[in-house]
Chains A and B, each alone.
Chain A
């Protein structure tokens, strides 16, 4: 059709014309100067504090881990099993981009004590040291962007069509024969550009932080994470940009547009996320600490399959005696007390794994449920993705606790194993544990604690669903805006 080709020919440059004028208009507006200044100030403050916290924690973690490792070796000559009780500490690595988004880190422990017979929970939650006020709103770059970037975009864009309609310039515009496509994309570009202006200082500071903290050397695929994180936040901004344009085009006047948009913001940034957390806990309830530990202790004694641990151990010893063709456990070629402690430890592991896995699965289910509610509020999937990429989410925490537990089992098994062989001839000798001492050389058969946090691929797989929901939101908001702006042409006045 001649009509379509005419507008297509002019389309590329007209979008630029509309965008440039929109951008100029906004930047000269008083309201932009205020909102942008506040935004920049908050972002810089949040990033600077995040940077400082990360640097301090990283230094502490590295030094503390080294100290703990050294203490293990230099703990003084003692019986290997006593050494297993002396234990060692596992410190959690901070997420590579946690200076931007520290996710659940304030609420989860970053220190775990590894000792024989016990699988401990991580302790030393930073939140416990904070006052009630600071705990309510942990100010980090991610929170500022998640809460305020949409508001900034709404303030800059709510008059895009409703303001022009009220002022009367919309009639003038439409009489020029400008197509809805040029208006939509031109205004989107202009307003988006102005909003980006307020966020550029944040990006610059972020890049500076990454460089000065030398994060790329310690993290896997750091720039991949940064790229994906940037894309996610841009997507989130686009959602609000196009929703603002749609509402501005449909609303009868600017005030109505602002009320609807701020209402949606309040709903999707505060109300839905808060209730989502509560609802997910109701659908997938997790036990209290007391319940958890009580059930675990009970299962350790009676066994998961109903066969008491004591009975299982008796069966094991009888079979062992048959294998070595002896009539007493004291005649076995291994030091019996060590053997006994290791075997009981292994029975416990089955119980530990069962309960801790169930707990982890519950938390994961809660999180996935909340992501699903992201169909109502785009903030939910964004939060998940942001924490995941920053390395401050449940996935990263679980990797740490699992690694600590694995290391604990290695330590205990090696100490018990060494004792079992080295003291084989002390079977039956009373208080023989006092006669078997080991030194630093023996302790060194346990490697120092180290672990690899999840890589980018693992993170993306975990949050693929959330990313999809975000993408769907972007698409839906663009479609809505296109439809709304298409109607403007008809209504005109």
Chain B
């Protein structure tokens, strides 16, 4: 579903990505670990066609993202670190807007409220202006937008940073639900614990290179931390 083939990105002299090969299929929850500047966000931006690759290809559902910028986005859902929404509109109105933009005008008001319920947003909050939402609530709306989009692939950039353990746990449950629905998930994160808990595979990045790939069912929590720190020198 998500494929990177010898993906490179250079900004002048600085090599942000030095040739990435990656393959994520439906049902995978792939957690990309690495320090800041390792190239995690660059990878996600390349899949989203927010930047052009210097070399190599990024593919979504078999389509090259640079050749099909609008169509590939139909298969993608993007949840950034802080989900930004329109403050003057309610949570429901925000969801409705993004759902329609994502090509789904068929949802009724009840359908949309159901999505928000699925992600755990309280009924009272749905009709309040988003300016009053907490970070966790915004993120729930972000996931609802991804759900409503019925995306085949999800790109998440540090989704659990700043969330309390309960919210973080709720988020994991949502991810598992999406995975069961057949989505391919790429998650950039610092959260080693969450990566082992929820992820199916882990990739460790350092200075633009993918150093090591692991299957989470083959390692323990302690192993993950040890291997990660090994590669950080």
Q: Please list the residues of chain A having a beta carbon within 8 angstroms of any beta carbon in chain B.
A: 2-3, 6-7, 10, 13-14, 17-18, 21, 24-25, 28-29, 167-169, 171-179, 489-493
B84 contacts A175, C-beta separation under 8 Å: no
B74 contacts A177, C-beta separation under 8 Å: yes
- Tell me the minimal C-beta distance from B149 to chain A in angstroms: 8
A21 contacts B97, C-beta separation under 8 Å: yes
On chain A, the residues within 8 Å of B78 by CB distance are: 171-172, 175
B102 contacts A172, C-beta separation under 8 Å: no
B71 contacts A171, C-beta separation under 8 Å: no
Q: Does B76 belong to the interface (CB within 8 Å)?
A: yes
- Tell me the minimal C-beta distance from A187 to chain B in angstroms: 13
- Tell me the minimal C-beta distance from A84 to chain B in angstroms: 74
On chain B, the residues within 8 Å of A14 by CB distance are: 100-101
On chain B, the residues within 8 Å of A171 by CB distance are: 50, 78, 80, 84
- Tell me the minimal C-beta distance from A210 to chain B in angstroms: 37
Q: Does B214 belong to the interface (CB within 8 Å)?
A: no
On chain A, the residues within 8 Å of B101 by CB distance are: 14, 17-18, 173, 176-178
Known: A3-B70, A25-B88, A493-B45. A176 touches B98 (CB 8 A): yes
On chain B, the residues within 8 Å of A3 by CB distance are: 68-71
Known: A2-B71, A172-B83, A173-B101. A28 touches B45 (CB 8 A): no
On chain B, the residues within 8 Å of A177 by CB distance are: 69-74, 76, 101-103
B71 contacts A6, C-beta separation under 8 Å: yes
Q: Taking CB as reference atom, which chain A residue is nearest B72? A: A177
Q: Does B51 belong to the interface (CB within 8 Å)?
A: yes
A493: which of B50, B98, B100 is its contact (CB, 8 Å)?
A: B50
77-91 of chain B: CB within 8 A of chain A: 77-78, 80, 82-89
Interface string of B32-52 (1 = CB under 8 A from A): 000000000000010011111
On chain B, the residues within 8 Å of A493 by CB distance are: 45, 50
How many angstroms from the CA of A7 to the CA of B74 in the assembled complex? 11
**Can you identify 17 A-B contacts, CB atoms within 8 angstroms?**
A3-B70, A3-B71, A6-B71, A14-B100, A17-B97, A18-B101, A21-B86, A21-B97, A167-B84, A172-B84, A172-B85, A172-B98, A174-B73, A176-B73, A177-B69, A492-B50, A492-B51
How many angstroms from the CA of A17 to the CA of B73 in the assembled complex? 18
Q: Does B163 belong to the interface (CB within 8 Å)?
A: no
Q: Taking CB as reference atom, which chain A residue is nearest B87? A: A167
On chain A, the residues within 8 Å of B100 by CB distance are: 13-14, 17
- Tell me the minimal C-beta distance from A488 to chain B in angstroms: 11
On chain B, the residues within 8 Å of A168 by CB distance are: 80, 82, 84
A13 contacts B71, C-beta separation under 8 Å: no
A10 contacts B68, C-beta separation under 8 Å: no
A25 contacts B48, C-beta separation under 8 Å: no
83-131 of chain B: CB within 8 A of chain A: 83-89, 93, 97-98, 100-103, 105
A176 contacts B71, C-beta separation under 8 Å: no
43-63 of chain B: CB within 8 A of chain A: 45, 48-52
- Tell me the minimal C-beta distance from A373 to chain B in angstroms: 41
On chain A, the residues within 8 Å of B74 by CB distance are: 6, 177
Tally the A-B contacts, defined by beta carbons under 8 Å. Answer: 87
Q: Taking CB as reference atom, which chain A residue is nearest B49? A: A492
B85 contacts A13, C-beta separation under 8 Å: no
- Tell me the minimal C-beta distance from A248 to chain B in angstroms: 16
Known: A17-B100, A18-B101, A25-B86. A492 touches B68 (CB 8 A): no
On chain A, the residues within 8 Å of B76 by CB distance are: 175, 177
How many angstroms from the CA of A178 to the CA of B149 in the assembled complex? 13
How many angstroms from the CA of A492 to the CA of B70 in the assembled complex? 13
- Tell me the minimal C-beta distance from A9 to chain B in angstroms: 10
How many angstroms from the CA of A6 to the CA of B69 in the assembled complex? 12
- Tell me the minimal C-beta distance from A165 to chain B in angstroms: 10
B102 contacts A176, C-beta separation under 8 Å: yes
A169 contacts B84, C-beta separation under 8 Å: yes
Using A168-B82, A168-B84, A177-B102 as known contacts, list a sample of 4 further A-B pairs with CB atoms less than 8 Å apart, ordered by residue number in A. A17-B101, A172-B84, A174-B50, A493-B50
- Kindly list the 6 A-B residue pairs having the minimum CB-CB distance in the complex, ordered from nearest: A177-B73, A492-B50, A168-B84, A175-B78, A28-B88, A176-B101
On chain A, the residues within 8 Å of B84 by CB distance are: 167-169, 171-172
How many angstroms from the CA of A13 to the CA of B100 in the assembled complex? 9
How many angstroms from the CA of A13 to the CA of B99 in the assembled complex? 13
How many angstroms from the CA of A10 to the CA of B100 in the assembled complex? 10
Interface string of B135-156 (1 = CB under 8 A from A): 0000000000100010000000
A172 contacts B88, C-beta separation under 8 Å: no
How many angstroms from the CA of A167 to the CA of B82 in the assembled complex? 10
- Tell me the minimal C-beta distance from B45 to chain A in angstroms: 7
A24 contacts B89, C-beta separation under 8 Å: yes
- Tell me the minimal C-beta distance from A190 to chain B in angstroms: 12
On chain A, the residues within 8 Å of B77 by CB distance are: 175
How many angstroms from the CA of A486 to the CA of B128 in the assembled complex? 34
B93 contacts A24, C-beta separation under 8 Å: yes
On chain B, the residues within 8 Å of A7 by CB distance are: 70
B70: which of A18, A21, A179, A490 is its contact (CB, 8 Å)?
A: A179
Known: A6-B70, A489-B69. A175 touches B48 (CB 8 A): yes
On chain B, the residues within 8 Å of A176 by CB distance are: 73, 98, 101-102, 149
How many angstroms from the CA of A14 to the CA of B76 in the assembled complex? 18
On chain A, the residues within 8 Å of B88 by CB distance are: 24-25, 28-29
- Tell me the minimal C-beta distance from B83 to chain A in angstroms: 7
How many angstroms from the CA of A259 to the CA of B70 in the assembled complex? 33
How many angstroms from the CA of A491 to the CA of B45 in the assembled complex? 11
- Tell me the minimal C-beta distance from A29 to chain B in angstroms: 6
- Tell me the minimal C-beta distance from B51 to chain A in angstroms: 7
On chain B, the residues within 8 Å of A17 by CB distance are: 97, 100-101, 105
How many angstroms from the CA of A137 to the CA of B103 in the assembled complex? 52
Q: Taking CB as reference atom, which chain B residue is nearest A30? A: B88
How many angstroms from the CA of A28 to the CA of B50 in the assembled complex? 31
Q: Taking CB as reference atom, which chain A residue is nearest B105? A: A13
- Tell me the minimal C-beta distance from A102 to chain B in angstroms: 40
- Tell me the minimal C-beta distance from A182 to chain B in angstroms: 8
- Tell me the minimal C-beta distance from A160 to chain B in angstroms: 13
On chain B, the residues within 8 Å of A167 by CB distance are: 84, 87
Q: Taking CB as reference atom, which chain B residue is nearest A171? A: B80
On chain B, the residues within 8 Å of A18 by CB distance are: 101
B89 contacts A21, C-beta separation under 8 Å: yes
